[in-house]
Structure 1
């Protein structure tokens, strides 16, 4: 307009009557810098402006930033804006947050302003993620108490979205004790409970990505002896039955080559290729492996790639910038400080800068494009509390950070929502249930709700914003675990999601994109009705 010969290009002023000064300044600044400088309310306004004036790149940036910093209050504020065409991705993120954080959302001061149709949609969804169905009733009751003008017919329609038929006897007693807020008639609740289908329709969540569990130390089918596993499972769906019963639908991916392995590393590249390396195929020190395996959807089985430079077990494998990093571990009973990096395009492992000292049974995670390593055992078998930032591009790659509150090994560590979470493992006192989080900005650790049960040598993964801890064993009883516990940072609590097909320990878990596994001809495991325990 200003450079094309139109009349506006001839004048000294241009009048723009349909755009505010703030929106114009924001869009022009973004056009030159590619940056939106704003806090959360400003980001919401920027998204609205970008949508109105069709700045797709600015809108994409704002949606990503808004989705990363959701909270109950922000989600409720976001819903009216996210209904606009063009904000479908942001609306989906907000809805998923509401479905997975309903107890916290119901406590928010702005919760009563949520439209009844939106609340009914949440309560009626199979994907509603609550510890027990009673929490859905509590949310509906709190909304009705804050909106006493609601017609009885509308209240009845809302309460019918609560699945009373899924409730245990204990939950039903709590419902009767709570009752309905006035002025709703007391017999309405009894009528709804009598009308409810028994057993009620289960809630069933199908994640947008696939959780994959690879190999591990397990038991033979007759439970007579331990045996390294070849099995590779992926979780199709998480199901909530009656009361506290939780089950997982599992399917198979192609098994690992015989005889299986445990204490190995695994990682996915771009969410569609799965790499497995190292570990052990039996229980003596001489059974440590160096082989590397690769699987992608175009293959019926696993392809053997270039082996590690050094055999290793008890080590983490992480992916960063399209490369794999195998950090430390143990070989022939000796702790290692060496690090190797794998280039998938060249199919070659190369040495990388070493860790400051030998360690094994440690954990590693990638946060904001950086590798962090925690805990483990030293070469003398001492439990470590260290946390270090490992940068493979530097000659001296390690930077020691604030140590964990508890020395531990055989634990899990994962990055969720800008923090590092460390859970479980083994310490000087035996099984550890302690759970702590590290904040990069402050350099400090915070102790959180402990694990419900021991998970030494467990697998971990981050799925839909939750930290999952799978399997492992108890050092006190040496019993293998089949439980899957999930921690939701927004609720600050652990939930049991169900069980593995069989008890497993010393195995990794990875996340793949759904198209990678959906087309596979998979066989369900049949473990669909086992209580979570």
Structure 2
């Protein structure tokens, strides 16, 4: 399944009773995915204030390897795989009406296991695979014109990659070129419509969790050439380097990462034997996983 965050205004009574305060809470959306027997269309939302998952209306198509990202108060579910075909269709969730719509134009081609992120009011769909080969393509969605357009491709084919936005750049991290997991990292400048190389990961990773928190990019788990990983590392743009951090308690391939309310979350995954249903939270101040 894919996870995404959305900041939502919440009004909560304080202990004084009558006074109300409003703040932003980060909600986590889990969209689609797969079980041992099937690809699914289920959608859930996690609210960290009450520590509960809420089941939302399902997407219209079963989708695993789907790209999910927020844009202008909507949640977009892009592409994926329905068990037979790589999809080009796109669905959009409106939290106000709590409904999914399919009025978004499709991608130029069906793809799965891509990266999806919002930057500068656009959605960027990065890499993935079309069922036959790994892709280096970059597509940008403009919600004002409801259209996708091709931008400069990456220098490397990548599927199962991590994507992150930091300092107005779009980072494409690791993944696989169809032969083996990758160390390499590159970043995209929307102003120049060009990619440039960045310092490589310390460990080859594909299908790992990726998130930004407090000005750094985090890469969690995934898989290297041989096995599932519990290791983690982070990129500091000031030092311009990746450095190892405390490993997670469990190995997690296909883990999803999210930064919510000051914590870095590692959600689900596969440890090589069974599907992991637990969530680990990394406390930056204590430098440990809970």
Runs (5+) with no aligned partner, structure 2: 1-22
Deviation at 1:398, TM superposition (A): 1.5
Deviation at 1:362, TM superposition (A): 0.6
1:280 counterpart = 2:97: no
Asked if the contact 2:93/2:101 (under 8 Å) is kept, the reply is yes
Asked if the contact 2:161/2:176 (under 8 Å) is kept, the reply is yes
1:211 counterpart = 2:28: yes
**What residue number does 2:90 align with?**
292
Q: Secondary structure at the match of 2:153?
A: coil
Asked if the contact 2:220/2:257 (under 8 Å) is kept, the reply is no
Asked if the contact 1:207/1:464 (under 8 Å) is kept, the reply is no
Alpha-carbon distance in structure 1 between the residues aligned to 2:227 and 2:240: 27
* CA 493–238 in structure 1, closer or farther in 2 if over 3 Å, else same: farther
Q: Secondary structure at the match of 1:227?
A: coil
Highest RCO, 1 vs 2 (Cα 8 Å, sep ≥ 6): 1
Alpha-carbon distance in structure 1 between the residues aligned to 2:112 and 2:258: 19
Alpha-carbon distance in structure 1 between the residues aligned to 2:75 and 2:115: 15
Q: Secondary structure at the match of 2:35?
A: strand
Residue of structure 1 aligned with 2:66, choices 264, 270, 276: 264
1:351 counterpart = 2:150: yes
Deviation at 1:237, TM superposition (A): 4.0
Task: Give the TM-score normalised by structure 1.
Answer: 0.48
Asked if the contact 1:353/1:392 (under 8 Å) is kept, the reply is no
> Structure 1 stretch 249-258 or stretch 400-409: which is displaced more?
249-258
Asked if the contact 1:316/1:362 (under 8 Å) is kept, the reply is yes
Q: Secondary structure at the match of 1:372?
A: strand
Q: Which has the higher helix share?
A: 1
**What residue number does 2:283 align with?**
488
Deviation digits for residues 377-412 of structure 1 (CA, Å, limit 9, x no counterpart): 014x221011212113325x1111111110110011
Alpha-carbon distance in structure 2 between the residues aligned to 1:414 and 1:443: 17
Alpha-carbon distance in structure 2 between the residues aligned to 1:349 and 1:207: 30
**What residue number does 2:53 align with?**
250
Alpha-carbon distance in structure 1 between the residues aligned to 2:117 and 2:200: 21
**What residue number does 2:40 align with?**
229
Q: Superposed, which structure 2 residues align to 1:68-79 within 5 Å?
A: none
Asked if the contact 1:279/1:314 (under 8 Å) is kept, the reply is yes
Q: Secondary structure at the match of 1:359?
A: coil
1:431 counterpart = 2:234: no
> Size of the alignment, in residue pairs?
268
Deviation digits for residues 426-447 of structure 1 (CA, Å, limit 9, x no counterpart): 0012111111111111112211
Q: Superposed, which structure 2 residues align to 1:470-481 within 5 Å?
A: 470-474=267-271, 476-477=272-273, 479-481=274-276
Deviation at 1:207, TM superposition (A): 8.1
**What residue number does 1:303 align with?**
101
Larger radius of gyration: 1
Alpha-carbon distance in structure 2 between the residues aligned to 1:418 and 1:250: 28
Alpha-carbon distance in structure 2 between the residues aligned to 1:491 and 1:388: 31
1:392 counterpart = 2:209: no
Q: Which has the higher strand share?
A: 2
Alpha-carbon distance in structure 1 between the residues aligned to 2:88 and 2:142: 16
Q: Secondary structure at the match of 1:295?
A: strand
Q: Superposed, which structure 2 residues align to 1:87-486 within 5 Å?
A: 208-219=25-36, 226-237=37-48, 248-258=51-61, 260-270=62-72, 272-282=73-83, 284=84, 287-304=85-102, 305-379=104-178, 381-395=179-193, 397-474=194-271, 476-477=272-273, 479-486=274-281
Q: Superposed, which structure 2 residues align to 1:507-526 within 5 Å?
A: none
Runs (5+) with no aligned partner, structure 1: 1-205, 220-225, 240-247, 496-533
Alpha-carbon distance in structure 2 between the residues aligned to 1:424 and 1:233: 23
Alpha-carbon distance in structure 1 between the residues aligned to 2:116 and 2:64: 13
Q: Secondary structure at the match of 1:441?
A: coil
After superposition, the CA RMSD in angstroms is 1.9
Q: Secondary structure at the match of 2:200?
A: coil
Asked if the contact 2:26/2:48 (under 8 Å) is kept, the reply is no
Deviation at 1:359, TM superposition (A): 1.2
* CA 300–236 in structure 1, closer or farther in 2 if over 3 Å, else same: closer
Deviation at 1:238, TM superposition (A): 6.2
